[in-house]
Amino acid sequence: MEKDSTKISMAVIRRLPKYHRYLKDLLDKNITRISSKELSRVIGFTASQIRQDLNNFGGFGQQGYGYNVDALYYEIGKILGLDRTYRTIIVGAGNLGQAIANYTNFEKAGFVPKAMFDMNPKLIGLKIRDIEIKDIDTVEEYIKENNIDIGIICTPGPQAQSVADRLVKGKIKGIWNFAPVDLKVPAHVVVENVHLSESLFTLSFLLKHCQNESSGTL
């Protein structure tokens, strides 16, 4: 039933978390069924796109009825890989690393931080919640011994590539990268970037070019 996932486009993949979030909202409102047309209204995609997207993964709907919210929420969660837990480490225990360590929502979703790593001796040994900050020199060994799935890189840009190299040596499976660089890793390691300055600069562009389009009086 499921098509070859290698053919799913990134455009579709990046919409899935949004479906997941809105379906949760509907569940919380005790809405049990929804048509692509209604969902279109709340989520902002076209009904056609919603049906196309969902059909990449199987026929979750029922003609004449629509979609069962509970079942669809569960299925999309499964497609996203949210039906399991992931063991993560955070590399870089500065402000951002600590913020992520403290953000319990990720843990609730199944992404459990097991340790943090830093090169600063003043930080090593400290704990954020119950997560210990360890010496970056031990990260490779730690990943292997503790079966870590995901490394979260929160270092400054210049350190990020060498950190990534260490994670790869430890056989990390995926990297969530907050450093403002594009990492070079082997093809079997998945990298997802959060490039904050790129997002901020995009906002800046839009402020400069797209403002006041509809407010002629100012």
Partner DNA sequence: TAGATTGTTAATCGATTAACAATC
Is 30 known to sit in a ligand binding site? no
Residues touching a copy of itself, count (CB under 8 A): 62
DSSP summary character for residue 132: E
Contacted entry of DNA, a copy of itself, none for residue 81, CB cut-off 5 to 8 Å set by kind: a copy of itself
Percentage helix, strand, coil, to 5, in the chain?
A: 45, 20, 35
Alpha-carbon distance 149 to 116, whole Å?
Answer: 14
The angle formed by the CA atoms of residues 127, 128 and 134, to the nearest 5 degrees, is 50
Least Å from the CB of residue 62 to a copy of itself: 25
* Residue 178: CB minimum distance to DNA, A: 24
DSSP state of 213: S
51 forms part of the interface with DNA (CB under 7 A): yes
Among 37, 78, 127, 144, binds DNA (CB under 7 A): 37
Stretch binding a copy of itself (CB under 8 A), from 32-40, 62-70, 89-97, 112-120 = 89-97
> Taking CB under 8 A as the rule, does residue 96 contact a copy of itself?
yes
97 carries a ligand binding annotation: yes
Cβ atoms 188, 167 nearer than 8 A = no
- Rounded to whole angstroms, how far apart are CA atoms 71 and 65? 14
Counting other chains too, the contacts that 155-160 makes at CB distance below 8 Å and 24 or more residues apart are 155/91, 155/92, 155/94, 155/179, 156/92, 157/181, 159/92, 159/119
Choices 40-48, 102-110, 116-124, 209-217; region in contact with DNA by CB under 7 A = 40-48
- List the one residue from 143, 160, 174, 183 that touches a copy of itself (CB under 8 A): 174
98 Cβ contact partners less than 8 Å away, ≥ 6 residues apart = 128
Binding site for DNA (CB under 7 A): 9-12, 34-37, 45-49, 51-52, 54-55, 59-67
Show binding-site residues for NAD(+): 92-97
What residues line the site for a copy of itself (CB under 8 A)?
Answer: 5-6, 8, 13-14, 16-18, 20-21, 44, 79-82, 86, 94-96, 98-99, 102-103, 105-106, 109, 111, 149-150, 173-174, 176, 180, 182, 186-188, 190, 192, 194-215, 218
